[in-house]
Amino acid sequence: MDQTLNDSGWRGSQEGWLEAAYESLLESGVDSVKILPLAKKLNLSRTSFYWFFKDREELLAGLVARWRDKNTGGIVKQSEAYAETLAEAMFNVFDCWLDEKLFDSKFEFAIRSWALQSAEILNEVQDADKVRLETLARMFMRFGNSEITADVRARTTYLVQIGYISMQSKENIALRMKRIPEYIAIYTGQAPQQRELDRFYARHGYKPD
C-alpha cells in the first residue's frame, strides 16, 4: 500500500496533468501546453508524464475530449431536461451560461482560439457547433415549432452566446439577470412566467432588488 502511494506521488495522476494542461491553455494558449513546463508546474519529473500519456498529442486530445464532454455535453443535457413550457426549457439552457459546471466559457474561448491555427481543431469546433445547434432545434420542435422556425431560433440562441464568448463580453450579474427575461421572450416568442423566472433566480442564488 505504501509503495502504491509513493508511486502515485512521484507520477502524479492523469487528471493532474490534464488540469495543468487546461490551466496553461486558458492562460497562454495551446503553444504553452508542453510537457516540460507542465512538469515544472506540477513539481514532477518529465518522465512521469509518460505513465499517463503516450505523447503531447495524446494530452492535447484529452483536453479536446474534456471540452467536448463538458461544453457540448452540458448544452445537450440542459436542452433535453424536463420542462413544462418552452420558456422553462430555455431557462434550462441558460443555466449553461451561468454555471461553469455545465459550460466553461473560458475553455470555449481557448478552444476556439486554438482552432484559428489548427484545421483539426477547427473541424472539432464545427462538429460541436452542429451537434449543439441540432439539439437546440430539437428542443424547439419538441414544443411545436416548425423545423425552419426551430432552426432559426436555435441559431439565434446559440450564435448570440458564442458572440458573447468571442467578444469576451462582461456583464455584472444584476444586468445579466435583468436582460435574461427579454432574451427568453425573443428566443422563444413567449414571455416567461414569474414563477419560472423566480425558480431560475433561486437556483443561481440571485435576489433581484
What Cα–Cα distance (Å) separates residue 129 from each residue in 9, 76, 133?
Answer: 39, 11, 6
- Cell, residue 35: 510537457
Q: Region 134-157: what's the mean pLDDT? A: 98
Q: What integer pLDDT is reported at residue 9 of this predicted model?
A: 53
- Does residue 12 contact residue 42 with C-beta atoms inside 8 Å? yes
User: Residue 33 is which amino acid?
Assistant: V
- Cell, residue 26: 486558458
pLDDT band at 30 (very low <50, low <70, confident <90, very high): very high
pLDDT in tens, 33-84: 999 999 999 999 999 999 999 999 999 999 999 999 999 999 999 999 999 9
| % the chain with pLDDT above 70 | 95
For residue 119, how many C-alpha atoms fall within 13 Å in the half-sphere facing its CB?
0
What is the C-alpha to C-alpha distance for residues 98 and 208, in angstroms, rounded to an integer? 16
Q: What mean pLDDT value characterizes the chain?
A: 94
pTM of the model: 0.91
Q: Using DSSP, state whether 135 is helix, strand or coil.
A: helix
Q: Please, is 119 exposed, middle or buried when counting C-beta atoms within 10 Å of its C-beta (0-12, 13-18, 19+)?
A: exposed
Letter string b/e over residues 42-55, b meaning 16 or more CB atoms within 10 A of that residue's CB: bebeeebbeebbee
Please say if the pLDDT value at position 1 is more than 80.
no
Q: What integer pLDDT is reported at residue 128 of this predicted model?
A: 98
Q: What integer pLDDT is reported at residue 2 of this predicted model?
A: 35
Q: What integer pLDDT is reported at residue 12 of this predicted model?
A: 83
